[in-house]
Amino acid sequence: MTKAPQGSAAPQQTAQRTVRPAVSTAVESAMRRALALAAQGPPHGPNPRVGCVLLDPDGRPVAEGFHRGAGTPHAEAAALAAARSRGVDPRGTTAVVTLEPCAHHGRTGPCADALVDAGVAAVHLAVSDPNPVAAGGAATLRAAGIEVTTGTLADEGEELLRHWLHAVRTGRPYVTLKLATSLDGRVAAADGTSRWITGPQARAHAHTVRAQVDAIAVGSGTALTDDPSLTARTIDGGLFEHQPLRVVLGRSAVPGDARLRGPGGPLLHLPEHDLAVVLGLLAEREVRHLLVEGGPTLATALLAADVVDELHAYVAPVLLGAGPTGVGDLGVTTIGAAARFTTHDVTRLGDDVLMVARRTQPVTNPQPAHARQNGRPSRPTKEEI
């Protein structure tokens, strides 16, 4: 492509719509690229991670973009801007997008309208948008005469967006429960000491998980006993740029000199034992992914309430023989009633092992959607510092 002289407008290359057999393979390849782009966006925050690739009529990529977080251009707008900055007219192109283009006015304009105005000829998307506020983009595109294909690499799209999709579909955050135990399931020795059961590699990994979630929660008993900071720290001891909201559940107050009141994310104390209320309040604050780190009382309550979506079990080759266990009595009296999860991944971290397991059955009774899709909570919480 000839470079435009300085001070003059870049030449516009108009893509003329044609149908070629290679496009289907090109679309799949472009969707994999769009998914990889989306994964570069922040895993935390209220907005989904989205990537977009524009293809010319011969199936060749001409521009791409992804969403970099709330308040920044959406993936489709970023890809269109990238095309124009390169002197490529997007008319007649095919947009390959990981999530259905939005159809609502938020901090930015509707992506569906941007694609219509740009003159794209076709749109392929992986996942339809379940958000009732933003959904309807596919219908807008079709009404404008644009060919829309849904479900391209849908499984991969669902996996990438699982936290956000779960939160929007159920009205509550995706709950990940972290357990760090000995081989015999203990979280501390008989005298209460627990630092450290797992090794440095496992602890470093846990901090990278903290840096990816919206909020991290502990019970008030753990807050008083362990005095955690609940920060996300790098290997050298510094703080990650993103620090999750720190949540303490239970009626005991957080002491004025607690480490939880030091550097890190905001502190939210909810003197509440009703987990449905807790998850609803967090949903109102647009918490999509909640990490729960203890202690055993809170872990047991969450499991008994069947609101744990994913388990991170860090297991150390250590035997204690006595001391508190990671999970208390769940009321299971027969093996057929056991709480079962499906193993997703097993990773060795130094001498320790991390098993990631996910709920076997999907959520069948989602809560009413407490969260407004945009803005601050509609009602105040008990205490926020």
Q: Which of 28, 64, 76, 272 is catalytic?
A: 76
Tell me the pairing of strands 94-99 and 51-55: antiparallel
Beta-bridge mates of residue 97: 52, 125
Residue 42 CA to residue 36 CA, distance in Å, equals 13
Contacts of residue 5, Cβ cutoff 8 Å, sequence gap at least 6 = none
Q: Contact 144/116 with Cβ under 8 angstroms?
A: yes
Residue 178, Cα to own-chain centre: how many angstroms?
16
Burial of residue 340 (CB within 10 Å: 0-12, 13-18, 19+) is exposed
**Amino acid occupying residue 78:** A
Q: Contact 157/35 with Cβ under 8 angstroms?
A: yes
Active site residue 76: yes
Residue 247 CA to residue 97 CA, distance in Å, equals 35
Contacts of residue 173, Cβ cutoff 8 Å, sequence gap at least 6 = 166, 167, 214, 215, 279, 282, 283, 287, 288, 289, 290
Output the six-digit token pair for 188: 């501390």
Element (H, E) at 65: strand 61-66
Burial of residue 295 (CB within 10 Å: 0-12, 13-18, 19+) is buried
Contacts of residue 373, Cβ cutoff 8 Å, sequence gap at least 6 = 46, 131, 132, 133, 134, 286
Q: Contact 160/133 with Cβ under 8 angstroms?
A: no
What sign does the CA torsion over 19, 20, 25, 30 have? negative
Beta-bridge mates of residue 123: 95, 148
Q: Contact 122/149 with Cβ under 8 angstroms?
A: yes
**Amino acid occupying residue 143:** A
Residue 167 CA to residue 45 CA, distance in Å, equals 12
Q: Catalytic residues, which ones?
A: 76
